[in-house]
Amino acid sequence: MNPKRLAGMTLGVLTAMGGFVDIGDIVANAETGARFGMSLAWVVVFGVLGICVFAEMAGRVAAVSGRPVFDLVRERLGAKVGLANLFASFFVTFLTLIAEVAGVALALQLATDVNYLLWIPLVGILVWLLIWRVRFENMERVFGLTGLALVVMAVALWKLSPDWGDLFHQANHPAVPRGEGRPTLAYFGIALFGAAMTPYEVFFFSSGAVEERWSRRDLVLNKANVFIGFPLGGFLSLSLMGLTATVFKPRQISVDHLSQAALPTSVALGKVGLALVIVGIFAATFGAALETALSCSYTVSQYFGWQWGKRTAPRDAARFHLLVIVALLSAVLIGLTGVDPIMVTEYSIVLSAAALPLTYIPILLVANDPDYMGERVNGRLSNVAGSIYLVVLVVVSAVTIPLMIATGAGS
């Protein structure tokens, strides 16, 4: 692989760090570990496989046809259903943007003890400045690589030397823990699944592939990004779940704050570990804030066929950039109302789960269309896996809202 191709790897790493490990995954995995131990670990594994299958398809479609995901949504679902899809996808992505911006601010609060509300406007401005001025590839590299600091969570878990046999037993023998109802367990499972497969990950991944001008020659790169990046993100998520399962569960602590996600690493590795985990959380949420802010605008621009992206100067993608500004400004204002960021995060991932089929069905359809794909249509493996996941996505989507109401959002 030549250096340029190697550098292209960072797209995958960023999407894994910022897209996979973002505020949603941090909150969902920390909460689940503290409450259910490792008994929902299989959902993370299943979710990682799912995002791999569909991100690979989306990346391949983008590389071969030059068309990002929301182009396909409009093209396959038509103007009307596509518009309904746009409303839902935008809403979920926007909710995630609020959560990520607040997440960055919370990470800054952890380092400074300055209230996160004071950081929110600054974070909003910084995110905008980077989108306005900094080149796509540089943006990825900085946050992708800094986000790797979260590997410290895996080191921390190893340092705590938990009862590995017990953790694996919990993971291999998923059972409803004492005092918990099946619906609550299912609700948390759905939250984890939604966090793993959040739609903006493929909006961003495929749009990024178009921005980086991927072509057929980049298909290997696509595979490498997807099958290294996302599993790495999944590994870090499971490390966090293991940490809270080890440190919090025996003490009957429930996770309600981002600070609690950093606490076990501090216990295990001291100040250096704590510093790294805070830097990692900052980078992962900041990367995700960039991705979601861009994705809000990608979806709308791609539906209406406006010039989008960072390849051109902002003046040549005026509507695209205006939308980024409006989305960020609204997210900052909503964040400033003091709405609980963790609660926003929970809703964003659960509603993501409900919206999953809207994004993934068109991808599967187009990945099989020779008109777009030539001979690069899905192979049998992709189609079998895609179809299995499709059934799961539809079922998850159908039960999410009723389950949310029945369990009082998992309380």
Partner 1 sequence: MSPSSPERLRLGLQLLDRQIVDREDRIAGKVDDLELTEPGDGGAPVVTAILSGRGALAHRLGGRLGRIAEALSRRLLPQETEDGRIEWDDVVSIGSCVKVDRDRDELATATVERAVRTAFIERIPGSGKRGTDADQ
Partner 2 sequence: MPRLALAGLVVVAVTTSCVHPAGTARNLADYESKAKNTAESVLSAVETAGIAVDAGTRDRAFPAFVTVVVGEAESDATAAVSGFEAIQPPNATSDRLRDQLGELTDQATDILADTRIAARRAETSDLLAQTQPLQQTAEGLRSFIAEHS
Site membership for partner 2, residue 105 (CB under 8 A) = no
Q: Alpha-carbon distance 328 to 280, whole Å?
A: 22
The partner in contact with residue 218, picked from partner 1, partner 2, none with C-beta cut-offs of 5 to 8 angstroms by kind, is none
Residue 331 to residues 153, 157, 172, 267, 339: CA-CA distances in angstroms? 29, 34, 40, 34, 11
Q: Are 228 and 148 in contact (CB under 8 A)?
A: no
306, 310, 311, 316 alpha-carbon torsion, rounded to 10°: 50
How many other CB atoms sit within 10 Å of the CB of residue 330? 15
Of residues 61 and 358, the one with the C-beta less far from partner 2: 358
Q: Is 410 helix (H, G, I), strand (E, B) or coil?
A: coil
The CA–CA distances, whole Å, from 127 to 110, 111, 293, 295 equal 19, 19, 8, 13
Binding site for partner 1 (CB under 8 A): 65-67, 71, 74-75, 78-80, 82-83, 132-136, 138, 303-308, 310-315, 318-319, 321-322, 325, 371-372
Which of partner 2, partner 1, none does residue 314 bind (CB under 5 to 8 Å by kind)? partner 1
Q: Looking at beta carbons only, is 132 or 168 nearer to partner 1?
A: 132
Draw the binding track, 155-194, toward partner 2 (x: CB under 8 A; -: no contact): ------------------------x---------------
The nearest distance, CB 267 to partner 2, in angstroms, is 6
Question: Are the beta carbons of 40 and 185 closer than 8 angstroms?
Answer: yes
Looking at the Cβ atoms of 234 and 280, the one nearer to partner 2 is 280
Identify what 251 binds: partner 1, partner 2, none; CB under 5 to 8 Å per kind.
partner 2
For position 88 contacting partner 2 by CB under 8 A, the verdict is yes
How far is 263 from 351, CA to CA, in rounded Å?
Answer: 28
Between 145 and 406, name the residue whose CB sits nearer to partner 2: 406
Q: What's the sign of the alpha-carbon dihedral 195, 200, 203, 208?
A: negative
Window 247-286: contact mask with partner 2 (x via CB under 8 A): x---xxxx-xx-xx-xx--xx-xxx--xx--x--------
Q: Contact, 85 vs 71, CB < 8 A?
A: no
Q: Does 108 bind partner 2 (CB under 8 A)?
A: no
- Which residues are CB-contacts of 244 (< 8 A; sequence separation ≥ 6)? 29, 30, 31, 32, 33, 34, 255, 260, 261, 264
The residues binding partner 2 (CB under 8 A) are 81, 84-85, 87-88, 91, 109-113, 179, 247, 251-254, 256-257, 259-260, 262-263, 266-267, 269-271, 274-275, 278, 339, 343, 347, 351, 354, 401, 404-405, 408-409
